[in-house]
């Protein structure tokens, strides 16, 4: 990661204090009607850049410039809820590839997801041309575990680990890696929504995460570093199944205090 420095163009600054009020680290003061960045050791959240009405604040070291916009984009709430309600985990996929631009847009949704302390610790492994190689390794690992799983989990009794146990012949898989579980999971959730907005079906493969985190050879093959964990695995493809109604869910447990 490149070094980021926050800079204030004092010629542009009018001393309005918007950046000071919005800074989560109390890292900005106003002196002689000009903003002063107290320390470069902040979380580099970029709020000072984003909020300044005069574009007087900038941060160095990013590959992209800030994008100007008039109003934030808002989603239609009912449409969003309907999309969440009618989406299903997809386990049957068409034999149809996913375009690289779609994969890139899904990853963009992950990249733009917030992270605790702005850590941006999430990374992505796209399995595309060698999906079967990684699935084979996971299958081998799970077949060795199965007898033990059958001892403790009644649901594993009838479970068979076939050659497509993890990815169900899907054409694309994105493995989401992070140091922090919440950061990885939030990115995964936004990515799944983006995939669905692109007309794709999504399967979260918790089993592949388990295999990738537990099997030393799979970790090595995926190039995982010691502190990195596979948080989510999105199995992606065009759905080979049509649903005619929703699947029922439990009522929300809510307490109003
Ligand atoms: C974190 C997570 C891991 C999952 N792992 C698997 C998996 O390994 N294999 C599988 O068939 N389904 C997996 N699922 C799918 C769930 O079984 C599914 O979301 C749940 O039954 C509800 O169905 P729905 O998504 O269609 O509403 C996973 C879902 C989540 C959120
Ligand atoms: S980047 Fe964020 S934390 Fe740092 S000075 Fe700007 S607003 Fe404050
Ligand atoms: S928001 Fe911009 S103009 Fe206002 S004090 Fe901060 S740097 Fe200056």
User: Would you kindly state where each structural domain of the chain is located, as residue ranges?
Assistant: 5-60, 77-238
Nearest ligand, CA 84? 1
Which CATH architecture group holds 77-238? 3-Layer(aba) Sandwich (3.40)
**Ligand 3 centroid, distance to 112 Cα (angstroms):** 25
Give CA–CA dist 66/59, Å, rounded. 9
Q: Which residues line ligand 3 (CB under 6 A)?
A: 8, 13-19, 35, 51-52, 54, 56-57
Strands 172-178 and 123-127, bridge-based pairing:
antiparallel
Give CA–CA dist 46/59, Å, rounded. 7
Nearest atom in ligand 2 to 47's CA: 7
Looking at residue 147, its pLDDT comes to 80
**Ligand 1 centroid, distance to 232 Cα (angstroms):** 11
Looking at residue 10, its pLDDT comes to 98
pTM: 0.93
CATH number belonging to the domain at 5-60, selected among 3.20.20.10, 3.30.450.20, 3.30.70.20, 2.160.10.10:
3.30.70.20
Looking at residue 235, its pLDDT comes to 98
* Residues of the chain predicted below pLDDT 50: none
Looking at residue 126, its pLDDT comes to 98
User: Nearest to residue 38, comparing CAs of 51, 22, 47, 25?
Assistant: 25
10 Å Cβ neighbour count for 10?
A: 13
């Amino acid at each position: 990661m490149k070094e980021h420095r926050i800079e204030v163009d004092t010629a542009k600054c009018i001393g309005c204090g918007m950046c000071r009020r919005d800074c989560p680290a109390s890292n900005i003061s106003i002196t002689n009607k000009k903003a002063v960045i107290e320390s470069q050791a902040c979380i580099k959240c970029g709020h000072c850049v984003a909020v300044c009405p005069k574009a007087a604040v900038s941060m160095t070291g990013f590959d992209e410039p800030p994008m100007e916009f008039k109003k934030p984009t808002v989603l239609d709430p009912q449409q969003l809820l309907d999309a969440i309600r009618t989406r299903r985990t997809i386990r049957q996929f068409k034999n149809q590839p996913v375009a690289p631009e779609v994969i890139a847009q899904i990853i963009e949704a992950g990249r733009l997801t917030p992270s605790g302390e702005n850590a941006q610790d999430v990374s992505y492994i796209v399995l595309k041309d060698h999906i079967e190689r990684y699935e084979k390794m996971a299958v081998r690992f799970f077949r060795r575990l199965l007898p033990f799983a059958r001892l403790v989990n009644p649901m594993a009794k009838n479970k068979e680990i076939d050659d497509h146990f993890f990815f169900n012949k899907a054409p694309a898989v994105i493995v989401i890696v992070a140091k922090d579980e919440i950061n990885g999971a939030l990115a995964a959730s936004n990515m799944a929504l983006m995939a669905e907005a692109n007309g794709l079906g999504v399967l979260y493969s918790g089993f592949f995460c388990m295999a990738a985190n537990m099997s030393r050879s799979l970790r090595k093959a995926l190039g995982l570093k010691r502190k990195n964990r596979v948080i989510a695995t999105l199995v992606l493809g065009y759905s080979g199944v049509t649903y005619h109604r929703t699947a029922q869910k439990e009522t929300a447990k809510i307490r109003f205090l």
